Structure 1
């Protein structure tokens, strides 16, 4: 069972979604959970950079809205504000760190999340003078080189270095932080999670039948969005936000077909009414 990748269809779907997202939104959604800043933080600042970097690192297996809301509350509270200063976190007792990350529900898995958070802060302190900006600068603000840096075995950036989370971080930096433009964004793959995959399948950009590892489907989704951008000024990361909303508010939410959201959907005419079924590490698509 081979997957069919339709890059021409992806071009059409992608442009419609981008136009909608930049206009009235996808089902009314025009921004992502990471787009809202804590009070007192200026866009493009070091504080903003550390806020999005550390929060993105624990953005796994949890509701994104709840995570970013918890992170904003944690940042704004005087008792926990220090959590976004890598040098201070690197020197903090583990029990205190866990307790403070639990205070406003920043940590969903307290021990694991605290370990991720502190490990990254220790790496930043030891190798980059406690500043994410220094990491970006050392990589010449080149997006693929930034990813290569955090994946270098000399450094420890758990979860942030992952294939999905790393790309997501680059997307947030370019789109929301905007403290410095990143180069070669066209070489960074779209961060494929179940929502990006589901929207890509539902719109027919990748088609089955298929029953196999989700990793194989993820590779196909990555390839089709790369291909959709060839010969244009667009790059695959641009499609992340609208695809995510399309699935989260529509494709994965609908109770049946015809889809109850079709009258609000900007790509309804491309809908194949084909669900992606994901079970652990496996995925299936009907014919």
Structure 2
């Protein structure tokens, strides 16, 4: 049984130790946001997120930045252009700096997201957010239930939650119910969940350990009054540094 008072103390210690603005996170690899429009910044932090699957996140965002800054490949961040080009043209741009490493599948994912933004939101991520009143729960309903197929991979539990955390952190998007975000669970945080006794050894070894971890953390955070957005990066960095084999 979890001792919430002891766990809260451990989590606050982790936040204190690893909530360091000088510690490089993957998404710190971005263009100068002061020189970009809000829409360009939103697209930058949204489209590559869907390709963050079983890969080094630091390398992903290095590739995203290189692709964005190259005039020959920057068009992939413009849905209105992507939808009018051939798959080969889009694939060539996405793979030039290894932004897409699964050439066919990840090109299809990128194009699908661009089609969704173009057809439903006038090419704008800002309209996706505004249409859903900047609400975590409304966005979750739209992207994970009502129209899930329109948002490949970014609709998954891990990426959906982390995407919104990134938008809040870097662009200060005014999310109305930010406390409804869940932790974005990857293999590092699953290990941390077991280390902190948030999940059992049996749950750790189950195929759906990430889902079980997310549910357990939802309950823990509610009871300890710690927000997922405040714990996410410190916990990830702690797990990555302390629990790597």
> How does the TM-score come out when normalised to structure 1?
0.77
The answer as to 2:236 corresponding to 1:239 is: no
The answer as to 2:47 corresponding to 1:50 is: no
Output the CA distance in 2 between the equivalents of 1:83 and 1:19: 39
Contact 2:14-2:234 within 8 A present in 1 as well: yes
Report what 2:23 is aligned to: 30
Query: What RMSD in Å do the two structures reach over aligned CA positions?
Result: 2.3
Contact 1:43-1:176 within 8 A present in 2 as well: no
Output the CA distance in 2 between the equivalents of 1:182 and 1:49: 14
Report what 2:10 is aligned to: 13
Output the CA distance in 2 between the equivalents of 1:211 and 1:18: 23
Report what 2:240 is aligned to: 248
Task: Compare relative contact order (CA 8 Å, sep 6+) and give the higher one, 1 or 2.
Answer: 1
Quickly say closer, same or farther: Cα 1:44–1:243, change in 2 above 3 A: farther
Match of 2:102 among 98, 103, 109: 109
Identify which range, 222-231 or 160-169, moves more after superposition.
Answer: 222-231
Match of 2:214 among 210, 214, 222: 222
Contact 1:205-1:224 within 8 A present in 2 as well: yes
Match of 1:213 among 206, 215, 234: 206
Deviation at 1:130, TM superposition (A): 0.4
Quickly say closer, same or farther: Cα 1:240–1:148, change in 2 above 3 A: same
Query: Which one has the largest radius of gyration?
Result: 1
Output the CA distance in 1 between the equivalents of 2:217 and 2:6: 10
Deviation readout 1:92-117 (Å, 9 max, x if unpaired): 11011111111111111011111000
Quickly say closer, same or farther: Cα 1:167–1:44, change in 2 above 3 A: farther
The answer as to 2:75 corresponding to 1:82 is: yes
Contact 1:7-1:225 within 8 A present in 2 as well: no
**Within-5 A mapping of 1:70-219:** 70-151=63-144, 152-153=146-147, 156-178=150-172, 180-208=173-201, 210=203, 212-215=205-208, 217-219=209-211
Contact 1:39-1:76 within 8 A present in 2 as well: no
Quickly say closer, same or farther: Cα 1:232–1:11, change in 2 above 3 A: closer
Which 5+ residue runs of structure 2 have no aligned equivalent? none
Output the CA distance in 2 between the equivalents of 1:116 and 1:41: 28
Question: Across the two proteins, how many residue pairs are aligned to each other?
Answer: 244
Report what 1:275 is aligned to: none
Output the CA distance in 2 between the equivalents of 1:6 and 1:48: 41
> Going by fraction, where is helix more abundant, 1 or 2?
2
Q: Secondary structure at the match of 1:242?
A: helix
Deviation at 1:41, TM superposition (A): 5.5
Quickly say closer, same or farther: Cα 1:246–1:140, change in 2 above 3 A: same
Contact 1:6-1:205 within 8 A present in 2 as well: no
